[in-house]
Amino acid sequence: MERYDTLVITKNLRMYFPIRKGFFGRRYLKAVDGVDLEIGKGETLAIVGESGSGKTTLGKTILRLYMPTEGSILFDGKDITKASEKELKWYRKVAQIIYQDPFSSVNPFFNVHRILEEPLIVQGIGNKKEREEKFFQTMHDIKLEPIDDFASKYPHMLSGGQRQRVAIGRALILNPKFIVADEPVSMLDASVRVEILNLLQDLQKKHGIAFAYITHDIATVKYFSERIAIMYAGKIVEIGPLRNVIAKALHPYTEALIEAIPDPDPRNRFHDRRVPTGEPPDLIAPPTGCRFHPRCPYAIEICKSKEPALEEIESKHKVACWIRTKS
């Protein structure tokens, strides 16, 4: 993997949401529970896991849309963990998000021109002429052309893929250093997904943007990632270079995600897939030990009582699994 200067660092990051106080006192939903991550400048890190694994909460916490319960967030060497909204004004410009739903994430009463111009107005960037130039450049970058035809259209007049391009343009127009792409293609037609991922990759190369690409679909990460982090029940259970993790998955949960990828070959229709039964655990009262052990076909006694640490097994390839670290 190419080497990068570090842009984002999280250390022991936790995001707990309080649940209504009951007989046993206040309880917490532990959505993110002790995550250490690094994302390099201009790099894409895919964060993959089932729904409810905490990956979206992790992305929003890194963006400081949530105040972390514990731990720290460093961005380009600056500690933003407890910064106030006033202190974060600069961060709102350099760190952006692309949401999952391209319709609900944009203002339905604004046309495309106003949607893209709005961030510039909010940040007080440029005069009207400069904002117009920036608008045309961004429309060219996201390939919504002819520009004059699209500028006056409203979201309901666009296809899903076109709306997502507008959402991408809104994030891009402020020249960010970092973007959280939260399931950006999951609500799009299959024929459009690769096209949008290729667009994001082109923008990354052109502008040097770092991405956290959040997805439940491990099959799409090959189009838009250099590294991959597997998240389960609020924790990173495996992380490493994409090719290494896909070719030689170390954690049983990663193996299960790969096994669940649909195979178009009809000869493999009845292939015995090693997909674990059951559901992700309750994050209010997660299992002791390894959180995957109730679903893991390889679990041994220590898995039930002691939590495994994330350890490097191969170069830059880490896993939190007693089976792998003991072998």
- The CATH number covering residue 40 comes to 3.40.50.300
In a domain, 1, yes or no: no
Residue 20 has pLDDT above 70, yes or no: yes
Distance (Å, rounded) from C-alpha 239 to C-alpha 59? 16
pLDDT: is 262 or 1 the higher one?
262
Host domain of residue 103:
6-326
| Of residues 3 and 155, more confidently modeled | 155
DSSP state of 221: G
Helix, strand, coil distribution of the chain in percent, nearest 5: 35, 25, 40
Q: What total of structural domains would you count in the chain?
A: 1
- For residue 131, being part of any structural domain is answered with yes
Q: Are strands 235-241 and 227-232 parallel, antiparallel or unpaired?
A: antiparallel
Query: 3-class DSSP state for residue 65?
Result: coil
Confidence band of 3 (pLDDT split at 50, 70, 90): very low
How far is it between the farthest Cα atoms of the chain? 67
Two tokens at 317?
A: 């390839």
304 exposure class (CB count in 10 Å sphere: 0-12, 13-18, 19+): middle
Percent of the chain with pLDDT over 90: 81
Q: Is the pLDDT of residue 6 over 80?
A: yes
Q: What is the rounded average pLDDT of the residues 206-211? A: 96
What's the pLDDT at 277?
76
Confidence of residue 280 (pLDDT cuts 50, 70, 90): confident
Sheet holding 235-241, edge to edge: 95-98, 178-182, 210-215, 44-48, 227-232, 235-241, 317-319, 311-314
Q: What tokens appear for 219 in the block?
A: 């099959």
The answer to whether position 175 is within a domain reads: yes
Contact predicate 209/176, CB 8 Å = yes
Calculate mean pLDDT across residues 71-76.
Answer: 97
In a domain, 147, yes or no: yes
What's the rounded Cα separation, in Å, for the pair 55 and 167? 20
Instruction: State the pLDDT at residue 266.
Output: 58
Query: To the nearest whole number, what is the mean pLDDT of the chain?
Result: 92
pLDDT at 57: 97
Q: Which pair of tokens denotes residue 40?
A: 């390099």
Tens digits of residue pLDDT in 173-200: 999 999 999 999 998 888 899 999 999 9
- Lowest-confidence range among 91-100, 171-180, 215-224? 215-224
Q: What's the pLDDT tens digit per position in 308-319? A: 999 999 889 999
Kindly write down the DSSP assignment for every residue of 239-302, as one continuous string. Answer: EEEHHHHHHS--SHHHHHHHHTS----GGGTT----PPPS-PPPSSSPPSSSTTTTT-TT--HH
* 109-142 pLDDT, tens digit each: 999 999 999 999 999 999 999 999 999 999 999 9
Instruction: Please tell me the predicted confidence (pLDDT) of residue 4.
Output: 58
Residue 70 lies in a domain: yes
Residue 88, domain member (yes or no):
yes
Q: What Cα–Cα distance (Å) separates residue 205 from each residue in 43, 248, 283?
A: 9, 28, 37
Coil vs helix vs strand at 193: helix
Asked whether residue 289 is assigned to any structural domain, the reply reads yes
Residues 259-296 as b/e (b if ≥16 CB within 10 A, e otherwise) read ebeeeeeeeeeeeeeeeeeeebbebeebbebbbbbbbb
Residue 156 lies in a domain: yes
Mean pLDDT of 144-172: 96
